Amino acid sequence: MWKNLELLPQPESNKAFILEHFLKDSNFVGKCFDPTKEFSNSFPCAGGCGCIKRVAELPDKSLVAVCGESPSMCEDVPIEREDTRILSFNLRKTAGFITEALATPHIVKDIQAVPTCAGMVRVGFYTPRGTIKFPVYLHVAFENGERQHALNSLILTKEPFILLLPTQDGLAVGETNALKTANSMIIGLDRYSDERGILKPADMLAVLTGFYKIQPDPDPEVDCQLFDTPPGAEWKDITIKFTDGHTVRITCKSVTGVFGYFQMGMNDARKAAPNKQWDLLQGFAEERGQFTWENSRANRGQKKQKQSLKAAMQKFFGIFDSDPFDDFKDHKGRICYRSKFNISPED
Ligand SMILES: [Zn+2]
């Protein structure tokens, strides 16, 4: 079904031709094509001699498709005017149809033109967790070489991407290697849909999860687990409560779990004990979301500790685009910190 889209000889054809040769499902055609005001005077020869039929009008204004060969080799077929209407492929509309079919919190619809490539649109983003996101594009080629151009223009952005194509068949070795180097992937829609072309969101999500797993580590210095932060969640959505000196219970929207300092990347390897960042986190809990100079854990190295705590928190939660902390000044003009997440000590 999807594959057939790429086999269309041009973006505009009459409805009968599109239905006969490519997309058998008229519902599907309506999701990807727009009707124009033009009508075709040729018609596919279904079950006839294999000619291209001509559209002829009878005296009573009804239409017939007559054999294109002379002398005639197949029978006249009565047709509806609507079947001769020229339909025009609409890439944005198709992108909308795809994102709606894939509706999961991990796929965000945000359709935008790609100035460097007319045959391609950005359909939105894939967000594995937190505010981490990767652009997802759709490209439909009608001419040879178009796919290569689309691929090259994305690789030039130097940003990992996911490119949806009607089919990933016939990908050259060079293209596969270029994708690997760019930490990017192509997804053929035909592989993640049933025989009617209906997309399977769970299958698509599984392959996207694999894509996220192969991404380079954004901060190898922090060795921690990755919290399953719901897509789009921010610091304010996170609540941390100490359950004892070495563990916390974390809640973010519908996700909750208990984690130790080790899992959160706040382990002092030499001592096999919590490090200074964990100490600082406990300080924030004691003051329920702030860390002032009145804190028993206040110390001269706290600015650097706060930077390290920020790095650990960002990687653990997958929220790299904003700082988990704000600064403020106390009555003596000294710089103190406030956390954007909620935090409290053990009861
Ligand atoms: Zn014929």
pLDDT 10s digits, 210-257? 999 999 999 999 999 999 999 999 999 999 999 999 999 999 999 999
The reported pLDDT for the residue numbered 197 is: 85
Sort strands 185-188 and 162-165 into parallel, antiparallel or unpaired. Answer: parallel
The reported pLDDT for the residue numbered 21 is: 82
The reported pLDDT for the residue numbered 5 is: 87
Ligand 1 ion: nearby residues, β-carbon < 5 Å: 48-49, 51, 67, 73-74
The reported pLDDT for the residue numbered 50 is: 85
Sort strands 238-244 and 342-344 into parallel, antiparallel or unpaired. Answer: parallel
78 alpha carbon – ligand 1 mean position (Å): 14
The reported pLDDT for the residue numbered 250 is: 98
Query: Which has the closest alpha carbon to 209: 106, 97, 111?
Result: 106
Distance, CA of 102 to CA of 25 (rounded, Å): 19
Contacts 24+ apart (CB under 8 A), 121-128: 121/91, 121/92, 121/95, 123/95, 123/96, 123/98, 123/99, 123/164, 124/99, 126/162, 126/208, 126/211, 126/212, 127/231, 127/232, 128/208, 128/209, 128/212, 128/231, 128/318
**Average per-residue pLDDT for the chain:** 93
Query: Which has the closest alpha carbon to 107: 119, 130, 93, 123?
Result: 123
> 27's torsion region: left (phi>0), alpha (psi -120 to 50) or beta?
alpha
113 alpha carbon – ligand 1 mean position (Å): 43
196 alpha carbon – ligand 1 mean position (Å): 30
Q: How many CB atoms lie within 10 A of CB 39?
A: 15
| CB 171 within 8 Å of CB 158 | no
58 alpha carbon – ligand 1 mean position (Å): 18
82 alpha carbon – ligand 1 mean position (Å): 21
The reported pLDDT for the residue numbered 4 is: 87
First-last CA distance in the chain: 59
Amino acid residing at 29: V
Domain boundaries, the chain: 2-89, 91-213, 235-344
Q: Which residues of the chain have pLDDT under 70?
A: none
